[in-house]
Amino acid sequence: MTNQNKTRVYRGEDFAQLDKRYRTQLINSMPGIKALQLVGTRGVEGQENLAIFNSIFHVGANPPYLGMVVRPDSVDRHTWQNILATGSYTLNAVGEDFYAKAHQTSARYEKSQSEFEMVGLSPLYREGMLAPFVGESAIKVGLTLQEYHRVACNDTQVVVGKVVYVELPESLLFDDGSVDLVAAGTVGSIGLDGYVASRWLGRLSYAKPDKAATSIFTERG
C-alpha cells in the first residue's frame, strides 16, 4: 500500500530527466478534469475526420468564441489541416455511452480513412455547416475559424473559432441558459487516457464581497 504521507517534489531541472510518457501524463493531468470534445472536420476533397481534444476553453460570449490548443504540426495534423483549408469545424460533447469510441479516434489513422467509420460513430450534417457533427453527441457546436496564434515556446497553435451553430435538447437547458452537462451524460478527461463522469455538487449565487454565496441549484422538470 502506498504511504499516503509521502510527498514527491519536482523542480524545474527535474522534468527533463523524467520518462517522456510519465512526464506527459504528470503535466497533462495536474490541471484537473478537462472539457472533452470530438472535433469534426472535412477536407477540401470531402474526406471526413474526427479527433478527440481535451484543450477546449471559453474565449468570449458576445460575440461567442471558443478556443482550443492544437499540438505542433511537425507531423500531419489532419484536423488542423482541414480547419485551415476550409475554416469550418464542429465540437461534439463526449457521452458516457461512447467515450471508448471517442478515445479510439486518437489512433494514427491515415488521412484517407474516416475516423467516423473506423470507430463506429455517425457523421451528421446541418445546413450551413461544411464540417460534420457526431450524430451520437447530445451537444453539437459549429464554428468557423476566426484566428490562430503560434505559441513560440513549443510550437503549439491556439485556435479561436466563432460559434455559428448550436444544437442540443431543450431538456438540457436551465432557465438562465446554463447547460446541464450532468443530465447530458457528458464525460471529462484526466491526463491522456482517463475518463470521468460528471455529477452536480451545486450551483452558487453570484459572488459579492459583502454577501455569502447561496445555493441556486434547482431540479428541472
- Report pLDDT digits (tens) over 18-30: 999 899 889 888 8
For 147-175, give the secondary structure using H, E and C.
EEEECCCCCCEEEEEEEEEEECCHHHECC
Phi, psi (rounded to 5 degrees) for 182: -70, -50
Domain regions of the chain by residue span: 31-197
**pLDDT digit string, tens, across residues 178-205:** 999 999 999 999 988 899 998 988 989 9
Cα-based torsion angle of the residue sequence 74, 30, 136, 168 in order, rounded to the nearest 10 degrees: -110
pLDDT at 71: 87
For 29, 45, 181, the CA distances from 219, given in Å and listed in that order, are 32, 47, 13
Model pTM greater than 0.85? yes
pLDDT at 74: 58
User: What is the longest distance spanned by two Cα atoms in the chain?
Assistant: 59
What is the DSSP-derived secondary structure letter of residue 70? E
pLDDT range class, residue 1, cuts 50, 70, 90: very low
pLDDT at 217: 83
Average model confidence (pLDDT) for the chain? 92
- Taking the C-alpha atoms of residue 199 and residue 155, their distance in angstroms, rounded to an integer, is 36
- Taking the C-alpha atoms of residue 162 and residue 60, their distance in angstroms, rounded to an integer, is 9
CATH of domain 31-197: 2.30.110.10
Q: Report the pLDDT averaged over residues 157-165.
A: 97
